[in-house]
């Protein structure tokens, strides 16, 4: 009877512990920076010609989270509905410390990124992982102020479109989600490609307590100030074409002057419009040059070894096909016609497009990225007269500043990103303060020139492939994958596996320490409380080595009371609840 009374007292006290408080126009008309490359923002003009994604290929639930508009102010600002996609089909649960894979949303509709990141979907079952794709604020459906028109209305409403706010969004979202699922102890692994890869790497640095590691694919974190030469992007694109055909390289290089000269003639713009089958008459020859320049850059990014439709439907090794068409035109074919035949590989490989709209932006992504490129994402670009096939020009910050003031009434801050995340000493920052980051790159990708291409430490690793293109490793696996791509992905999986193994070992040791602080070293483990046992992750080969014991809160109280007395048992149970945030679940130590 006395024992029962003590147990009842423990339960009452435990319940008490649980319940105790512990002005622009609504439509932006943007004058673009000459020849400035973009990330996926300009891909929006190609999406309507691409194969629509099949939702059945990737099963997820669409949810919304009331997100804080300004994480760095305590003023009474509105919230907005942030969309995120979630899949828990293979998650082994919080009790087994199932990992959570979070993809850092890019500058666009999150569904498009989700269905183009097959790698994450394919490895999640092997790790027993949950998958989350949060959408970047001001893109897709995640619009502050209720609509895109209001969000993009003026410099005041756009002020909260920053990388820092986006990272805070992801940190708050995953923290709240884990709390709601009683999954505070579940490790988070970050993924991201291109701008999303930059966010993943930065989030690992800024919020190391939120995520145990990050895979940053094609992430140009060094493409700021003069950390890398401003010519490097166009030099890599040019080298991609030169390696296929010197004649092709020279034809493209010569075409710019021909286009400019033709545009200066009385009927020149009309002739260029007809030659390139444009839907509307050209206003300037520069508009055509920028359209062609974008195609060459995206061909380099999407220069995959097999047919794909990530950007546009394209053949395998599309640059090879572009140069084949340019070089194989009959003798006497004009240079403009040769260029049209070549660029059609990108814009019209299927042959179904009747005319081309240079201003097509069906998903409204470009305005958001233009704002970011004018406020904090200031990446210098230039083109060399000697090494580039593009028109030669020097980086001109004054010109960029004028454009930003004209378009957004905002003055760029070219040194802010390097101040916030690290600049010329970024590699030293990684070495000193960072860990568990993979920078994966393919050297055919022009953005690789601004990324980390060598190991910084044992835990800051660069995986570089000579023939890889823009985050090719994130594409779904196919039977056509070359061996070097298969090996790259396998290396990434092994590194992620190592992060998780290290986390589980440290978690076990850390919890032992916390228990010893409260109960003089007594640990309840390996069936002391009950006979039911399980493996973390079930069949998961990555984390199946770690044993857990299933103990209810009553068993913990009884076991603690019998071995250490009522008070120690109560403290032990409270420590368990505080650490795992749940009761009646499988945990590493009861």
Query: 3-state DSSP call for residue 557?
Result: helix
**Lowest mean pLDDT: which of 41-45, 481-485, 573-577?**
41-45
Q: What is the mean pLDDT of residues 478-504?
A: 97
- The predicted-structure confidence for 316-343, as pLDDT tens digits, reads as follows 999 999 999 999 999 999 999 999 999 9
pLDDT of residue 512: 56
**584: pLDDT confidence band, cut at 50, 70 and 90?**
very low
Q: Is the pTM of this model over 0.75?
A: yes
51-224+418-466 placed in CATH 3.40.50.1820: yes
Contact 523, 589 (CB under 8 A): yes
Contact 423, 449 (CB under 8 A): no
- Angle at which helix 246-263 crosses helix 232-244, to 10 degrees, equals 120
Beta carbons within 8 Å of 360's beta carbon, 6+ residues apart: 45, 48
pLDDT of residue 26: 38
Beta carbons within 8 Å of 331's beta carbon, 6+ residues apart: none
- The predicted-structure confidence for 541-573, as pLDDT tens digits, reads as follows 454 433 333 445 555 555 555 555 555 556 665
Query: Hey, which residues does 462 pair with through a beta bridge?
Result: 439
Q: What is the mean pLDDT of residues 218-233?
A: 96
Determine what percent of the chain is predicted with pLDDT higher than 90.
71
pLDDT of residue 333: 94
**Lowest mean pLDDT: which of 104-113, 129-138, 224-233, 510-519?**
510-519
- The predicted-structure confidence for 266-293, as pLDDT tens digits, reads as follows 999 999 999 999 999 999 999 999 999 9
Q: What is the mean pLDDT of residues 348-358?
A: 93
Q: What is the mean pLDDT of the chain?
A: 83
Positions marked active-site: 194, 445, 470
**Lowest mean pLDDT: which of 99-103, 501-505, 575-579?**
575-579
Domain ranges of the chain: 51-224+418-466
Q: What is the mean pLDDT of residues 242-264?
A: 98
Contact 174, 384 (CB under 8 A): no
- The C-alpha atoms of residue 530 and residue 491 are separated, in whole angstroms, by 39
Residue 1 has pLDDT above 50, yes or no: no
**517: pLDDT confidence band, cut at 50, 70 and 90?**
very low
**Full 3-state SS string of 112-157:** HHHCCCHHHHHHHHHHCCEEEEECCCCCCCCCHHHCHHHHCCCHHH
pLDDT of residue 77: 78
**2: pLDDT confidence band, cut at 50, 70 and 90?**
very low
- The predicted-structure confidence for 403-441, as pLDDT tens digits, reads as follows 999 999 999 999 999 999 988 888 889 999 999 999 999
Query: 3-state DSSP call for residue 65?
Result: strand
């Amino acid at each position: 009877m006395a024992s029962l009374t003590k147990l009842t007292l423990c339960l009452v006290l435990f319940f008490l512990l649980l319940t105790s408080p512990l002005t622009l126009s609504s439509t932006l008309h943007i004058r673009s920076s000459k020849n400035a490359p973009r990330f996926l923002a300009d891909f929006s003009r190609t999406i309507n010609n691409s194969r629509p994604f099949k939702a059945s290929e990737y099963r997820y639930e669409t949810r919304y989270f009331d997100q804080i508009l300004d994480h760095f102010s305590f003023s009474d600002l509105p919230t907005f509905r942030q969309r995120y996609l979630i899949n828990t089909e293979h998650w082994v649960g919080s009790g087994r410390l199932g990992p959570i894979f979070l993809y850092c949303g890019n500058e666009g509709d999150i569904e498009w990124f989700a269905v183009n990141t097959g790698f994450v979907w394919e490895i999640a079952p092997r790790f027993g992982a949950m998958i989350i794709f949060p959408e970047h604020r001001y893109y897709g459906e995640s619009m502050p102020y209720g609509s895109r028109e209001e969000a993009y209305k003026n410099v005041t409403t756009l002020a909260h479109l920053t990388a820092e706010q986006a990272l805070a969004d992801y940190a708050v979202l995953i923290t709240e989600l884990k709390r709601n699922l009683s999954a505070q102890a579940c490790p988070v692994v970050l993924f991201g490609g291109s701008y999303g890869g930059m966010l993943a790497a930065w989030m690992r640095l800024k919020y190391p307590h939120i995520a145990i590691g990050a895979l940053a694919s094609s992430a140009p974190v060094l493409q700021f100030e003069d950390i890398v030469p401003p010519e490097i992007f166009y030099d890599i694109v040019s080298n991609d074409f030169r390696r296929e055909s010197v004649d092709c390289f020279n034809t493209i290089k010569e075409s710019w002057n021909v286009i400019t000269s033709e545009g200066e003639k009385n009927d020149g713009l009309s002739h260029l419009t007809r030659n390139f089958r444009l839907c509307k008459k050209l206003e300037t020859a520069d508009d055509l040059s920028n359209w062609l320049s974008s195609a060459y850059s995206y061909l380099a990014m999407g220069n995959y070894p097999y047919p794909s439709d990530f950007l546009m439907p394209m053949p395998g090794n599309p640059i090879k096909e572009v140069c084949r068409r340019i070089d194989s035109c009959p003798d006497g074919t004009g240079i403009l016609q040769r260029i049209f035949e070549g660029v059609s590989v990108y814009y019209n490989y299927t042959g179904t497009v009747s005319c081309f709209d240079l201003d097509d932006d069906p998903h409204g992504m470009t305005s958001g990225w233009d704002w970011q490129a004018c406020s904090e994402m200031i990446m210098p670009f230039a083109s060399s007269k000697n090494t580039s096939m593009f028109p030669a020009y020097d980086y001109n910050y004054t010109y960029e500043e004028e454009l930003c003031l004209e378009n957004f009434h905002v003055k760029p801050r070219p040194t802010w990103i390097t101040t916030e995340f690290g600049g010329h000493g970024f590699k030293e920052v990684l070495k000193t303060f960072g860990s568990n980051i993979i920078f994966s790159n393919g050297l055919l990708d022009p953005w690789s020139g601004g990324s980390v291409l060598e190991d910084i430490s044992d835990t800051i690793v660069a995986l570089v492939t000579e023939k890889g293109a823009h985050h090719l490793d994130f594409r779904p696996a196919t039977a056509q994958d070359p061996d070097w791509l298969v090996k790259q992905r396998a290396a990434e999986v092994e590194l992620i596996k190592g992060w998780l193994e290290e986390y589980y070992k440290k978690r076990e040791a850390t919890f032992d320490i916390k228990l010893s602080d409260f109960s003089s070293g007594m640990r309840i483990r390996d069936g002391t409380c009950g006979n039911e046992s399980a493996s973390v992750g079930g069949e998961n080969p990555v984390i199946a080595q770690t044993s857990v014991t299933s103990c209810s809160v009553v068993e913990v109280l009884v076991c603690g009371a019998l071995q250490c007395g009522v008070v120690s048992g109560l403290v032990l149970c409270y420590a368990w609840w505080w650490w795992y945030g749940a009761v009646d679940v499988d945990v590493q130590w009861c």
